[in-house]
Structure 1
Amino acid sequence: MIEVRNVNKTFNKKQILFDVSAKFEAGQTNLIIGQSGHGKTVLLKSIVGLHSIDSGEIIYGNKVFSGMSFTDQKEIRQQIGMLFQGSALFDSLTVEENVKFPLDMFSNKSTEEKLDRVNFCLNRVNLENVNHLYPSEISGGMQKRVAIARAIALNPKYLFCDEPNSGLDPKTSIVIDNLIYEITKEYGITTIMNTHDMNSVMAIGEKIIYIHSGRKLWEGNKEDILVAKEKELNDFVFASELFKRIKRNV
């Protein structure tokens, strides 16, 4: 589990996060949703330690991560997998080398053990015969699956996904959502996913928090969200014609 308590964050004298508190459960897909520019990405990056917070606490298990030195945070950082918005694969490395990269950085496994783990992770995301291809030689959806394989290479306890379906077609987005959900359940990972894609919310949103103007305005699950009363949340959820039709039938 990860918990944030009364987190505040300011950039250049402008406050971005206001007293945000939430719990993100292990073995669940925890989603942070909200409009662009309202603080959800800042919250995600603060939780993972890419931004320092002004006040409050970020707790991993029973350890106050935000109060540790950078050196002391290393043990927890090694238990974190990251899936970035643009996949963030190394163009000059093959698929195999990309997935092996965190193993080279943070494990003492032999070369044979590393390659076994790489192949296991690639098989887990349903990729075969792509080891020696470069990112430019595979599709965007396949790149995302390679990025997931890399994110789970170290068998993380925590998985962070920043807009994982950005730029993908709806069919491929479903594949990525399902993979994230399956891996979360299979390994009991605490998964935190930042998204504005309501299709993802309705597919895999077990715990959802809605960030509006830097504040946590609402929390619940995908069933609760369709009958929520908060105007700002409703404006966000039912912005598309599809979800307007869903609302009329709720």
Structure 2
Amino acid sequence: MIEIRNVKKSFGEKTILHDVTATMEAGKCNLIIGASGSGKTVLTKCMVGLFKPDQGEILYNGQNMLEMTDEERKQLRQQIGMLFQGSALFDSMTVEENIMFPLNMFSNLSYKERRKKANEVLARVNLKDANKKFPAEISGGMKKRVGIARAIVLNPKYLFCDEPNSGLDPQTSLLIDHLIKEITEEYDITTIVVTHDMNSVMEIGDRIFYMHQGKKQWEGSNKDIIFSKDKLLNEFIFASEFLQGAKEMRMLEEKGESPANNQ
């Protein structure tokens, strides 16, 4: 669990985060959504320690990261997995070597043990035959899965995903969403996903935090969104007339009042 308490962050005279409070739960996909400039990226960077908030607390399982020693913070970061927007694989390394990279940096395992571990997580993301290929030889969806494998190879307690479906077709995006959710539940990870993909929101959004102009405007589950009366949230998610109509139909279905039932 990650708790954010009254976090504020400014750059010069411009305030980016206004007193943000939220709880990211373990074993669930916690999604941060919002328009560009809403503060979601700055909030995420504060959570992983890249930015220091001007005010507030960020607690990892009850421990305030902002009060940790350098050694404690280093140990915490070894418990954090990162899936970057562009996968961020090393072009000169094979898939297997990319996944072994965190093990080389932070573990005392032998080469044989590191290689075995890398291939175990490759199998978990359904890429057991890609270990000797280079990033240029695999598809975008496969690169994302390699990125996920590398992110979980150290058995993290926390997983941060930055736009995991960026650049992917809808079918592949759905596969990545399901994989992230499966791994989150299987390993009881506190997963934080920053996304613009509304399919992801509706598919895996156990907890959703909608940011607007640096404030947490709304929070709830993907089911709560259907019945939300928050005007700003609805304008963001159901921007088109088609989606507005889809929301109305879904609300009727949930109430057992679908037009199909009235025929």
Structure 2 gap ranges (5+): 252-263
Q: Percent sequence identity over matched residues? A: 62
Matched with 2:160 is 160
| Mapping 1:54-69, distance limit 5 Å | 54-69=54-69
Matched pairs, number: 250
SS at match of 1:223: helix
Separation (CA, whole Å) in 1 of partners of 2:246 and 2:100 = 44
Separation (CA, whole Å) in 1 of partners of 2:240 and 2:51 = 32
Per the normalisation by structure 1, the TM-score is 0.97
Q: Give the partner amino acid of 1:88.
A: A
Per the normalisation by structure 2, the TM-score is 0.93
Separation (CA, whole Å) in 2 of partners of 1:45 and 1:176 = 23
- How far is 1:71 from its partner? 3.0
- How far is 1:86 from its partner? 0.8
SS at match of 1:37: coil
Separation (CA, whole Å) in 1 of partners of 2:240 and 2:170 = 15
Cα distance 1:242–1:121, how it changes in 2: closer, same or farther (>3 A)?
A: farther
Residue 47, structure 1, aligned to residue 47, structure 2? yes
Matched with 1:95 is 95
SS at match of 2:143: helix
- How far is 1:12 from its partner? 3.1
- What stretches of structure 1 move > 6 A for 4+ residues in a row? none
Cα distance 1:242–1:66, how it changes in 2: closer, same or farther (>3 A)?
A: farther
Matched with 2:27 is 27
Matched with 2:246 is 246
- How far is 1:70 from its partner? 3.2
| Mapping 1:11-22, distance limit 5 Å | 11-22=11-22
Separation (CA, whole Å) in 2 of partners of 1:240 and 1:68 = 46
| Mapping 1:76-115, distance limit 5 Å | 76-115=76-115
Q: Give the partner amino acid of 1:209.
A: F
Compare CA radii of gyration and give the structure with the larger one: 2
Once the two structures are superposed, residues 62-88 of structure 1 have per-residue CA deviations (whole angstroms, 9 ceiling, x without a partner) of: 210122233320111110000011111
SS at match of 1:128: coil
Separation (CA, whole Å) in 1 of partners of 2:47 and 2:103 = 23
SS at match of 2:70: coil
- How far is 1:180 from its partner? 0.3
SS at match of 2:119: helix
Task: Compute the RMSD of aligned alpha carbons.
Answer: 1.0
Q: Give the partner amino acid of 2:195.
A: T
